[in-house]
Amino acid sequence: MGRPFFMKTIHIHYSLVIVLTLVFLSACSPASTPTPFRPPTAQAPLIEPTFIIQPTQEVLVIESTPLPTIFPTTNPADCVNDLTFLEDLTIPDNMFSTFGLALDKQWLVENSGTCHWNSAYRLRNIGGAALGAPEEIALYPARAGTQATLRVLFTAPFAEGVYESAWQAIDANGNPFGDPIYIRVAVQ
């Protein structure tokens, strides 16, 4: 003989109540938040102390050699700024342009000095037509010995002619350094 009908119904109702309670509770739990990506930083090499154990008459003496002082490879005050032009990535010299065309000029350069370029470094217009660009923009940060792409957005003038705009990197003190870079377009 089986269970009475009402016992089966109660069992189903209890099961349904438990499932609905679990669904409700899971909906009330806080949403997971993604862990932000943090790039790894270079870890200083571990230097193990050297221990010298010397037995004495009754006492064991442990002497430790001092850890060496680690100095940076270059002193920022002693570093040398330099920039080497490598190639035009966009808009070759003497390219023809129409009036008012947006010009996205990009140069590939190398930080050929020993200083790392940070947010204090700038790229400044040193001559020629402004072509709608600001007088000065941030220089792309780059470690010494690495390549970087420099980018300036220009606008072609509304008058025919050949236009050139020259730019040069400057350090935090406003001192220019490295190869000048430029754009030259013919507007018609």
Percent of the chain with pLDDT over 90: 58
Predicted local confidence at residue 18, as pLDDT: 72
Query: Higher model confidence: residue 175 or residue 37?
Result: 175
CA 168 vs CA 80, 104, 107, 125: distances in Å:
16, 17, 12, 7
Residue partners of 117: CB distance under 8 A and separation at least 6: 111, 139, 140, 141, 142, 143, 148, 169
168-173 own/partner pairs: CB under 8 Å, 24+ apart: 168/123, 168/124, 168/126, 169/81, 169/83, 169/117, 169/121, 169/122, 169/123, 169/124, 169/139, 170/121, 170/122, 170/123, 170/124, 170/136, 170/139, 171/81, 171/115, 171/120, 171/121, 172/120, 172/121
Predicted local confidence at residue 66, as pLDDT: 47
Reported as a single tens digit per residue, the pLDDT across 56-75 is 555 444 444 444 433 344 45
Average pLDDT, the chain: 78
Strands (E), 25-69: 51-55, 60-64
Predicted local confidence at residue 23, as pLDDT: 55
d(CA 96, CA 103): 11
Q: Is the pLDDT of residue 135 over 70?
A: yes
Predicted local confidence at residue 69, as pLDDT: 39
- Per-domain boundaries in the chain: 79-187
Task: Name the nearest CA neighbour of 140 among 107, 102, 180.
Answer: 107
Report residue 109 CA to chain centroid gap: 17
Predicted local confidence at residue 60, as pLDDT: 44
Predicted local confidence at residue 16, as pLDDT: 64
Reported as a single tens digit per residue, the pLDDT across 10-52 is 556 666 667 666 655 555 555 555 545 455 454 544 444 444 4
Reported as a single tens digit per residue, the pLDDT across 70-97 is 334 445 678 999 999 999 999 999 999 9
Predicted local confidence at residue 168, as pLDDT: 98
In the CATH hierarchy, which fold is given to the domain comprising 79-187? Answer: Immunoglobulin-like (2.60.40)
Q: Residues of 78-110 as b/e, b for ≥16 C-beta within 10 angstroms?
A: eeebbbebeebeebeeebebeeeeebebebebb
Predicted local confidence at residue 64, as pLDDT: 42
- Average pLDDT estimate for 141-160: 96
